[in-house]
Copies of this chain bind each other. A is one copy, B any other.
């Protein structure tokens, strides 16, 4: 869930991704005109027939989008969303070949993936690769947990709120998170004005008994390691572990919380695939056995009688059934292939054996590729901040990583950049005037002198960003 999202969609007043899209439209438009000019020139000098044939072929193949247009030195640089295009370079290598998927027209037509399963829309191959990857990385316990799949972890976050809400007529359950919190939490919680739950702000200021605390660790936006701050009453913590992967932070232990959310986009870079997953084995106090039975009919009853620990998983699955009648199987097949390519890569070249070796071939080892990128980008960012003199960043957090088997620093996927310059009270606006789109601290429950910057964009966009930053003073 800590992926990205509109942020400004709710009370924050911004226009979200659509507004960003609007801004970028001008860039896209310029890019389109350049492309059209190039096409014209090519046609003029290399013959119209070949160009027309190429165009026809492209149309016949239903050419996919390539995301945002390429940047130039004068472009608006959009680092608002955590669009993980940094990873494309890895997947264009050998691992990408192994992750290629072929889906014949007759495959996976049914709504059902496994009719006998609690999560009837979960592709068995995807579940297998999820469990295999967690065993490799050691970042979360999967054995003994139910695994559910969602259309991104955003959908699973809403499913968790639905599943954890007390049944019957009662006041909406409070949803909280310690500030600075992920900017989409308030908007996604409140956009439908649900009577089941409502956003209640900073967990550190909260004083009630029935709540869900969202624990995003490492934290979006600031990269910090978090634990639940509330412990009282009937409250439940939902752990958003979107960034608990070894390229971003030391893996210090296998997480074993009640409800843990993950997303493909920040693990592998495939945001367009829209897949998240959750581990849970949880039954909160208010989900009494009789209530679970009351939701089930005669046949289901017999199954449930044996498996009452599946209460939350069953309600989350129900949410996804009502919201989208399951989750794209095509995406699950593709994600399974992608996760498999990652784990297979480490089967060939184990992680710890070559840890710290900067010369090794990282073409088949995703986490090593991504960590190297993050180390390099953070070094450049810290150098730019030092050159500028008006900014500060959070301190580096080192720890022993069980995956790499060495002590490493955290290199978060977002930079939480603060400005100390006199008169700059709206850092987001200050950067926007300099053609850098970031997300202002106000959307995270923080002040306006801080912004969140994505560290996962393309090399080209990142390079232009740090150059501009270094020149500010």
Contacts and interface: CB of A to CB of B under 8 A. Distances in A.
Interface of A: 3-6, 8-9, 13-25, 27-29, 59, 62-69, 81, 83-85, 87-88, 91-92, 95-118, 120, 123-126, 128-129, 151-152, 154-155, 158, 162, 184, 187-188, 191-196, 265, 269-275, 295-297, 299-300, 303-304, 314, 317-319, 321-331, 333-334, 336-338, 340-341
Nearest to A67: B110
A18 B196 contact: no
A69 to B, nearest CB: 7
A326 B196 CA distance: 24
A235 to B, nearest CB: 21
The 8 closest A-B pairs by CB, nearest first: A67-B110, A99-B105, A96-B105, A193-B195, A25-B116, A272-B329, A91-B106, A62-B125
A62 B129 contact: yes
B297 A15 contact: yes
Nearest to A458: B110
Given A115-B28, A321-B5, A328 B151 contact: yes
Q: How many copies does the complex hold?
A: 2
Given A97-B104, A109-B271, A125 B64 contact: yes
B322 A108 contact: no
Given A5-B325, A69-B115, A101-B103, A109 B91 contact: yes
A27 to B, nearest CB: 8
Contact of A105 (B19, B62, B100, B110): B100
B100 A95 contact: no
Contacts of A13: 297
A390 B90 CA distance: 65
Contacts of A20: 115
Nearest to A100: B104
A64 B108 contact: yes
Contacts of A64: 103, 107-108, 123, 125, 329, 333
A447 to B, nearest CB: 20
A32 to B, nearest CB: 8
Contacts of A314: 18
A102 B337 CA distance: 12
A273 B329 contact: yes
A152 B16 CA distance: 23
B21 A112 contact: yes
Nearest to A19: B300
Contacts of A330: 272-273, 328, 330-331, 334
A265 B325 CA distance: 11
Contact of A85 (B91, B109, B125, B338): B109
Contact of A109 (B17, B124, B272): B272
A104 B256 CA distance: 34
Nearest to A198: B195
